[in-house]
Structure 1
């Protein structure tokens, strides 16, 4: 990941008014359709995974230039724009804010049953990307929004957002399947926030030994782990951010360590996938690994990017509804012309094939 800039994303209350949201939906559909025609679905996914392009899209759609709501509103508008035409466009969106995020697996299954593709790879990507950002990257931001955008060919991007109520700040996480080499080592296309804080980061490249040690330890007999954890509570360790000894009660972890012992995870990714392995479990493993194996903890915050540009809040100026509607009409016309041009090109190619076959 390369740092490309910084801007702010404070938490804002409220939502887009109906008159604006319906226009956002119409303009989103026009933009998506035109981009698919001109650039293809894969390029659209690539651009959605770019935090600056995504933010600029929110500005073009007329939403707040610096609000945390741009994430939920823009993905919501895109999802609504594709409703009923997902199979025609070959582009699908699952998830959303709060409870809608939990519906992502079932939505993926529903799309798959209609279009005939295997849902499991997308469900796995959806579930594990969320768990990485909630558990493996312990940065103080709790996920409340998760969206996966994907094609039947197997490509996908994930856009999800966490909230830190104390800091009154949101953090957006971007994933892209094209560039993903590992779910658990530097997996993000971008992590966007206006603050960087000490974070217990299991996905940092330098945390490879920690991930390996935690996996080995999770396969040990639970009695051994609990015994070592009790030693941790008796030691005077250096002050750590995001790793609290006070919430590590060895007796509370016996059941989950028994579960990991029975499943014998082969790597950190399979450990993370086990139901019940949460943030506290990983913190307990991390401290125990440091005690047993001397593996250093990584406090490298993955946030590298932030946000850019504007409308709903009348900044830099109120949304011009007439101009907005005119833009939608122009894009619709461009789409129709692109379709006509495309069909004419196909017809010409067919004629050429017939000539060459004579």
Structure 2
């Protein structure tokens, strides 16, 4: 397991309103259940261990696309919705924020008693991963959230987050049990946080000699070594800008969703009658479920599924959100009784969008696209933390139609 880098996460205050948190829980459960059904619970664990996927996952659920709040809100929603179905799903989400993070070892022992897994060993792994990121990596971030997700086969991942009060930034750490050979030598799948320059990191591969000499001299745990870590920078600006998005991917998806009706595709007949705005959301949800890791390097793109609770890039279209949830839940229920037609149609959405990219020239009018979403938000039950969306006031020239892609 290698550390692959890190990225900035600006701290965001505020709360997630009930109308959004309930929908996040429902959509999160539906996505997790679909991935487990299609690929197995080990794939759920693997995806959660991927920070790019995790950030995209949060964005598609209406959270602020770049903020640290995604960690707390998404994992809280998943724990609320997934754990009541843990026995049949085979996935257990333990831990949480603040005091709840301290309960993780006890929760894992309970999971062990229910599943036959070695709960004591899992509890030890929980404590060790927290100790490494809180003590062995001296980067100025103090852990305040720790979640341990495990399946019935013993595959696990850890997602934990620390805060730096001096810089008002957060850093998220990802661990994955797959191929983990050492807890002190490059153990992370990823570290997500703000570039602090040079940090003390005894888990670095280049620290091996230092660790050995320190053990010989001091007869204690490995010493720290100075190393500059590469970072992927997440911007501080709250609004979604064109530079944050892969325009070829976004434009091709929008063209498929809005310029072609589902009935134009034989494989999408099970989705006929659905409006293009819901197809847009479903196409992005489909990519979260079926997309390969390389598809998640621009998490901001996934905010075009259900907007953001803060109004960026546009208000959360509640009616579309509900239709997305209902469509996915219906597909899951049909698949459980052997009828996978709707599930295949949902999967085909992302495939068609990806195929469209091959010959697509990015010419999307980005500002017009966002303005159109905001203007029409009231039609879809748009909401933000500030209230419900209202019809826009008409201005001279509004009747002119703009080509969006």
1:324 partnered with 2:326: no
Which residue matches 2:336?
339
CA distance in 1, matches of 2:196, 2:42: 31
- Check whether the contact 1:192–1:306 (CA below 8 A) recurs between aligned residues: no
- Distance apart, 1:334 and its partner CA: 1.1
Q: How big is the shift at 1:22?
A: 0.7
1:299 matched to 2:226: yes
What are the superposed Cα offsets for residues 73-100 of structure 1, whole Å, 9 maximum, x if unpaired?
Answer: 1111111111321111110111110111
In structure 1, distance between residues paired with 2:166 and 2:131:
22
**Which residue number in structure 1 is paired with residue 309 of structure 2?**
312
Residue matched to 1:148 = 148
Question: In structure 2, what is the Cα distance between the partners aligned to 1:87 and 1:306?
Answer: 39
Distance change in 2, residues 1:339/1:149 (3 Å): same
Task: Find the counterpart in structure 2 of residue 128 from structure 1.
Answer: 128
Cα distance in structure 2, aligned partners of 1:88 and 1:30: 14
CA shift, 1:301, in A, is 4.2
Distance 2:231 2:51 in 1: 11
Residue 305 of structure 1, CA deviation: 4.3
CA distance in 2, matches of 1:304, 1:178: 23
1:112–1:119 contact (8 Å) kept in structure 2: yes
Partner of 2:107: 107
Moved over 3 A (4+): 1-6, 216-219, 301-308
What corresponds to 2:208 in structure 1?
Answer: 208
Moved more, 41-50 or 189-198: 189-198
Give, in whole Å, the separation in 2 of the partners of 1:201 and 1:327.
43
Cα distance, 1:192 vs structure 2: 1.1
Task: Indicate whether 1:178 and 2:165 are aligned.
Answer: no
Separation in 2, partners of 1:59, 1:102: 28
Where do 1:231-250 residues align within 5 Å? Answer: none
The CA distance in 1 between the partners of 2:233 and 2:78, in whole Å, is: 21
Asked which structure has the greater RCO (Cα within 8 Å, sep 6+), the reply is 1
Preserved CA contact (<8 Å) 1:201 1:301: no
TM-score (norm 1): 0.71
**Pair 1:94–1:203, CA change in 2 (3 A):** same
Change (3 A) 1:90 1:177: same
Residue of structure 2 equivalent to 1:43: 43
**1:126-158 CA distance string (max 9 Å, x none):** 111110001111001111100011112121000
1:193 maps to 193
CA deviation after TM superposition for structure 1 residue 325, in Å: 0.7
Contact 2:29 2:82 in 1 (8 A): yes
The answer to whether the aligner puts 1:168 opposite 2:196 as a matched pair is: no
Unmatched runs of 5 consecutive residues or more in structure 1: 220-264, 269-281, 287-296, 344-358
CA distance in 1, matches of 2:70, 2:147: 13
Q: What number of residue pairs does the alignment pair up?
A: 270
What is the Cα deviation at residue 172 of structure 1?
A: 0.6
The answer to whether structure 1 residue 60 and structure 2 residue 60 are counterparts is yes
Q: Distance in 1 between matches of 2:131 and 2:142?
A: 11
Aligned counterparts of 2:109 and 2:173: Cα–Cα separation in 1: 24
